[in-house]
């Protein structure tokens, strides 16, 4: 006995499975330095003993399609915010690139609201680069 499935049902199942696989691949590559097919800027607080005490450290990840001026534009954005780049990692895959930077900004005042506002400024500046 063979089970017949119409084309629309088969196509819907294939599309659902591809979505599941894409989500699994995205989740599996989150901690890795592998470019994804999603353009994104992620800014999150970072802690490391090597970072000097008078600064706000952040881990900044920018994933997008490679363009020649990308690194220069990112450098200009960090300079405009008076950030220091403590570490940089870059990975490419086909025409995609992922840049992960550890940046620090001078700490004037303590407070979570200042850290959140600073993170949003960094995010906005790097989104404008994309």
Query: Does residue 101 lie within any of the structural domains?
Result: yes
State phi, psi for 9 to the nearest 5 degrees. -65, -45
Stated as kind and residue range, the H or E segment containing 92 is strand 84-93
What is residue 118's predicted lDDT score, i.e. its pLDDT? 84
Query: Does residue 115 lie within any of the structural domains?
Result: yes
- 8 Å CB contact between 33 and 98: yes
pLDDT by 10s per residue, the chain, length 130: 456 778 888 999 999 999 999 888 777 766 677 888 889 999 998 886 666 566 788 999 999 999 989 999 999 999 998 898 989 999 998 999 999 999 988 766 555 667 788 889 899 999 998 8
What is residue 7's predicted lDDT score, i.e. its pLDDT? 87
CA distances from 13 to 5, 18, 23 (A): 11, 9, 15
Domain count, the chain: 1
Range of the domain at 97: 40-129
Query: Does residue 104 lie within any of the structural domains?
Result: yes
Stated pTM of the model: 0.69
Query: Does residue 5 lie within any of the structural domains?
Result: no
- 116: domain CATH number is 3.30.70.260
Query: Does residue 4 lie within any of the structural domains?
Result: no
CA distance 72 to 98: 15
Query: Does residue 118 lie within any of the structural domains?
Result: yes
């Amino acid at each position: 006995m063979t089970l017949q499935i119409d084309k629309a049902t088969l196509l819907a199942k294939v599309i659902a499975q591809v979505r599941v696989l894409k989500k699994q691949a995205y989740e599996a590559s989150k901690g890795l330095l592998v470019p994804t097919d999603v353009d994104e800027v992620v800014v999150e607080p970072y802690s490391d003993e090597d970072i000097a005490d008078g600064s706000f450290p952040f881990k900044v990840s920018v994933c997008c399609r490679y363009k020649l001026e990308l690194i220069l534009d990112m450098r200009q954005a960090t300079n405009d915010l008076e950030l220091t780049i403590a570490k940089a990692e870059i990975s490419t895959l086909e025409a995609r690139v992922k840049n992960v930077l550890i940046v620090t900004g001078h700490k004037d005042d303590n407070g979570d609201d200042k850290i959140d506002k600073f993170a949003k400024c960094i995010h906005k500046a790097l989104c404008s680069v994309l």
